[in-house]
């Protein structure tokens, strides 16, 4: 495929790896142009929740595509967007009364950051500082990169990134995290943005609901807006609809994307509290929320999201999530004593581990070698450096899970 003009994301074309073409997908399986069946063990980059090509979602897309394809969303509306907003209001925390649409997780984060600063600006208070957690990932647009971890991924773009305050990841010593957060909030921070319970791209790092609850309480005590980036953790991934639920946390702003359409089409929302809406609500147009993109609330994407919400209402999704979590626990137990596997951990439907010793970085050779190894074994796993994680669609069957874990065990054998 070296004659293809396509430039792939997060791909070093100079390494010369073949880029497989996929023709079709169903449930947890991808079918390639060269006739292979590949198990999608990472839900096509964390988006596919129920499984590929869920019939309800595909039907909704088909039907909507014959009725209304696209509509300007400034000052106009359509039923699929209204249905998504109503559906979200029904299942998301009551205090999140407003739904703003965008197209991706990154843009939902940009929107949350702009709403937070807009809130303070419109109230005439000079609070502008954003606080973030070390090792976080919030997306690849400039604002989302600014609030994420700095490193090889964004070093060349550092001049474009704005300055933020950082609290440490609450690993061994959560008190240090809480103390730094307390100082920043007391100093008048505008907002704190965090991935609840699980830092995804930062390496599938898990922290406790207690710490999450304490961080939320600290922000609340100082009026610092609490932004929950549930782009990855939302839609059942961590065992509950939202990770925040496990800590009884209600954020001021909530970012959702990935599983919002069940993983079928790009769409995102930022949900906001009434206070944030109120700060923008005015007869004065200069206080409007100035943000849009051409495809805001695209009707076909919204129809897919409405179908996803219907699946959550009508199908036993949380039972499936619970069962997948239990099956993952059983599978990971077999790896617990492997000498080449360390830091085995689970958060809901996600299992992660370090393979081949803890000193490999994202750029070490191990990552690409593992990627090829798994691909040749018929499993789509995409390690973060030497962090191997399994995040399958909820419909995956035991035979496929067995294959995934057998491939991981074999990779560990080869690297021990
Ligand atoms: C994936 C991700 C994003 C970015 O979402 P995109 O749709 O890729 O822009 C933001 N935050 C978190 C926590 C994510 O995992």
What CATH number did the domain enclosing 48 receive?
Answer: 3.90.1150.10
* CA 151 to centroid of ligand 1, rounded, Å: 17
Which spans in 231-365 are helix H?
274-280, 299-314, 317-333
∠ Cα 100 106 108 (to 5°): 15
CA distance 201 to 219: 24
CA distance 383 to 368: 8
Cβ(197) to ligand 1 under 6 A? no
- Specify whether 289 is located in the same domain as 352: no
Residue 6 lies in a domain: no
Task: Report which protein residue has its CA nearest ligand 1's atom 15.
Answer: 232
* CA 37 to centroid of ligand 1, rounded, Å: 27
Q: What is the pTM of this model?
A: 0.97
CA distance 128 to 116: 9
Spatial contact of 191 and 116, defined as CB atoms under 8 Å apart: yes
- Specify whether 280 is located in the same domain as 326: no
Q: Which atom of ligand 1 is nearest to the CA of 200?
A: 15
pLDDT digit string, tens, across residues 26-66: 999 999 999 999 999 999 999 999 999 999 999 999 999 99
Taken in order 238, 396, 385, 3, the sign of the CA dihedral is negative
Domain boundary among 263, 284, 314: 314
Cβ(257) to ligand 1 under 6 A? yes
Q: Which atom of ligand 1 is nearest to the CA of 107?
A: 9
- Specify whether 284 is located in the same domain as 348: no
Give the pair of three-digit tokens for residue 205: 């790092």
Cβ(139) to ligand 1 under 6 A? yes
Name, in order, each residue with C-beta under 8 angstroms of 159's C-beta and a sequence gap of 6 or more: none
Residue 7 lies in a domain: no
Number of domains, the chain: 2
- Specify whether 117 is located in the same domain as 254: yes
Domain boundary among 261, 279, 314: 314
Q: Which atom of ligand 1 is nearest to the CA of 141?
A: 9
What CATH number did the domain enclosing 211 receive?
Answer: 3.40.640.10
Q: Which atom of ligand 1 is nearest to the CA of 232?
A: 15
- Specify whether 195 is located in the same domain as 344: no
Residue 74 lies in a domain: yes
- Specify whether 290 is located in the same domain as 323: no
Task: Report which protein residue has its CA nearest ligand 1's atom 6.
Answer: 105
In this predicted structure, what is the pLDDT of residue 327?
98
Stretches in the chain below the pLDDT threshold 70: 1-2, 357-364, 416
Residue 194 lies in a domain: yes
Task: Report which protein residue has its CA nearest ligand 1's atom 11.
Answer: 138
Domain boundary among 289, 314, 339: 314
What is the residue-wise DSSP string for 7-19?
Answer: --TT--GGG----
Q: Which long-range contacts (CB under 8 A, 24 or more apart) does 78-86 make?
A: 78/297, 78/299, 78/302, 80/297, 80/299, 80/300, 80/302, 80/303, 80/305, 80/306, 81/297, 81/299, 81/302, 83/302, 83/306, 83/309, 84/269, 84/297, 84/302, 84/305, 84/306, 84/309
Residue 2 lies in a domain: no
- Specify whether 45 is located in the same domain as 85: no
- Specify whether 268 is located in the same domain as 126: yes
- Specify whether 210 is located in the same domain as 134: yes
Pocket test for ligand 1, best of 45, 138, 242, 263 (most atoms within 8 A of CB): 138
Spatial contact of 141 and 111, defined as CB atoms under 8 Å apart: no
- Specify whether 271 is located in the same domain as 373: no
Residue 160 is given by DSSP the state G
- Specify whether 233 is located in the same domain as 131: yes
Residue 4 lies in a domain: no
Residue 322 lies in a domain: yes
In this predicted structure, what is the pLDDT of residue 333?
97
Collapsing DSSP to helix, strand or coil, 119 comes out as: helix
- Specify whether 212 is located in the same domain as 349: no
Residue numbers of the domain that contains 349: 13-54+316-414
CA distance 202 to 393: 21
Spatial contact of 97 and 273, defined as CB atoms under 8 Å apart: yes
* CA 125 to centroid of ligand 1, rounded, Å: 30
In this predicted structure, what is the pLDDT of residue 127?
97
* CA 58 to centroid of ligand 1, rounded, Å: 23
CA distance 19 to 50: 26
Residue 5 lies in a domain: no
In this predicted structure, what is the pLDDT of residue 356?
82
Cβ(373) to ligand 1 under 6 A? no
């Amino acid at each position: 495929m070296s004659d293809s003009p396509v430039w792939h994301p997060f791909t070093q074309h100079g390494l010369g790896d073949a880029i497989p073409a996929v023709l079709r997908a169903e449930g947890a399986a991808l079918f390639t142009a060269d006739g292979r069946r590949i198990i999608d063990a990472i839900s096509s980059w964390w988006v596919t929740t129920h499984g590929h090509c869920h019939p309800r979602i595909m039907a909704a897309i088909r039907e909507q595509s014959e009725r209304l394809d696209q509509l300007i969303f400034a000052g106009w509306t359509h039923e699929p967007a209204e249905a998504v907003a109503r559906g979200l209001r029904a299942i998301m925390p009551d205090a999140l009364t407003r739904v703003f649409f965008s197209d991706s997780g990154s843009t939902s984060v940009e929107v949350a950051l702009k709403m937070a600063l807009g809130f303070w600006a419109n109230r005439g208070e000079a609070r502008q500082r954003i606080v973030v957690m070390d090792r976080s990932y919030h997306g690849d647009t400039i604002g989302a990169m600014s609030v994420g971890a700095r490193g090889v991924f964004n070093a060349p773009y550092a001049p474009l990134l704005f300055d933020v305050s950082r609290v440490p990841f609450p690993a061994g010593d959560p008190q240090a995290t809480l103390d730094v957060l307390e100082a920043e909030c007391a100093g008048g921070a505008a907002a704190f943005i965090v991935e609840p319970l699980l830092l995804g791209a930062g390496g599938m790092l898990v922290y406790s609901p207690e710490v999450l609850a304490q961080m939320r309480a600290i922000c609340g005590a100082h009026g610092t807006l609490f932004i929950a980036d549930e782009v990855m953790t939302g839609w059942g991934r961590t065992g509950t609809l939202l990770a925040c639920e496990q800590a009884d946390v209600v954020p001021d702003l909530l970012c959702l994307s990935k599983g919002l359409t069940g993983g079928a089409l790009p769409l995102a929302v930022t949900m906001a509290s009434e206070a944030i809406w109120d700060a923008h609500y005015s007869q004065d147009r200069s206080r409007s929320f100035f943000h849009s993109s051409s495809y805001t609330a695209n009707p076909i994407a919204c129809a897919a999201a409405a179908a996803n919400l219907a699946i959550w209402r009508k199908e036993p999704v949380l039972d499936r999530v619970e069962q997948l979590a239990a099956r993952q626990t059983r599978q990971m137990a077999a790896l617990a004593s492997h000498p080449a596997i360390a830091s085995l951990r689970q958060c809901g439907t996600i299992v992660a581990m370090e393979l081949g010793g803890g000193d490999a970085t994202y750029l070490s050779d191990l990552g690409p070698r593992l990627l090829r190894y798994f691909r040749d074994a018929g499993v789509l796993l995409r390690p973060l450096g030497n962090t191997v994680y399994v995040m399958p669609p909820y419909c995956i069957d035991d035979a496929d899970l067995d294959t995934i874990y057998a491939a991981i065990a074999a990779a560990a054998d080869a690297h021990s």
